[in-house]
Amino acid sequence: MLLNQFLFLGAVLFCIGVYGVITRRNAVMVLMSIELILNAVNINLIAFALRNGSVDGHVFALYVIAIAAAEVGVGLAMVLLVYRNRRSIALDELAEMKG
């Protein structure tokens, strides 16, 4: 197997995730897109770990997974709070911080 095929796969997933982050109105959807991005990064890490024959990539990937989980937890808590206060989680309606 080529290294590049995994890397390409990661790149594609990353870009799709970027598209999702930018485009999606729903806050939960944005979080999902962020998950896509994180997973793409993970694929990269593991691929390189295999290439280099080291375990560091695995460890890093595990840490990313853990962080992602924590982040989703907090993020969803925030979304809930927003929903409670505003009855909507459309991001383009949350513009109170505009300058």
Partner 1 sequence: MFGAEVSGVAEVVQAYGWFLENAWIIPIIPAVAFFLIIFFGKKLPMKGSELGILSMLATLFFSAMAGWQWIDAVNSAPAGSAMAPVIKSWTWWTTGGFDFTIGQHMDGLSLTVLIVVAFISTLVQIYSVEYLHGDRRYTHFFAALTLFSAGMMNMVIADNMLQLILGWEIMGLCSFMLIGHWWEDGANSRAALKAFFTTRTGDVGLLVGTSVLFFAANDWTQKTLGVSGFSIRGVSAWALSGDPSSAAITVAAVALFIACIGKSGQFPLHTWLPDAMAGPTPVSSLLHSSTMVVAGVFLVARLYPVFWEGLNITGSSFNLIVVIGGITILIAAALAFVQNDIKKVLAYSTVSQLGYMMMGLGAGAWLPAVFHIFTHAFFKACLFLAAGSISHSASHHSFDMKKDMGGLRKFMPITFTTWIISTLALCGVFPLSGFFSKDEIIDNVGHNGYTLFMVIGLIGAFMTAAYMTRATYLTFFGTPRGASAGEHHDDDHATDHAHGDHAHDVHATHDAHGAHDSHDSHDAHASHGPRESGPLITIPLIILATLAIGAGFLNATPFGAGWENMKKWVEPSGAVISTTGIEEAHGGAGASRIVYLSPQAEEGAYSSPCGKETPKDGICYAPSISHAKFKWSKGALSLAIVFAGMLVSWFMSVQVFERKNRALAGLTKRNKLLGAGHSFLVNKYYLDHLYEKVIVRAIAHPIARGAYRFNQKVLDGIVNGTGISVRNTSRWVYRNVDQKVVDGAVNGSGAAAQGAGSALRPIQSGKVSQYGALLFGAAAIGALVLVIINT
Partner 2 sequence: MIASDVLVAQNIGFGMIAAVMIVAALRVVTSRNVVHAALWLVLVLAGIAAQYILLAAEFVAVTQVLVYIGAVMVLFLFGTMLTRARIGGEANLDNRNWLISIPVAVILLAAMLYALGDGFGDEKLPQETTPVSVQQVSDSIFGPHVFPFWALSFVLTAALTGAIVLARKD
Number of residues near partner 2 (by CB under 8 A)? 70
**Binding flag, residue 94, partner 2 (CB under 8 A):** no
Which candidate, 85, 41, 83, places its Cα nearest to that of 61? 41
Q: Which stretch binds partner 1 (CB under 8 A): 38-46, 57-65, 66-74, 87-95?
A: 87-95
User: Which long-range contacts link 79-87 to residues 24+ away (Cβ below 8 Å)?
Assistant: 79/27, 79/28, 79/31, 82/27
CB 34 within 8 A of CB 21: yes
Query: What would the x/- binding string for partner 1 be over residues 10 to 39, using CB under 8 A?
Result: --------x--xxxxx----x---------
**Binding flag, residue 94, partner 1 (CB under 8 A):** yes
Query: What would the x/- binding string for partner 2 be over residues 30 to 69, using CB under 8 A?
Result: -xxx-xx--x--xx--xx-xxx-x-xx-xx-xxx-xxxxx
CB 47 within 8 A of CB 7: yes
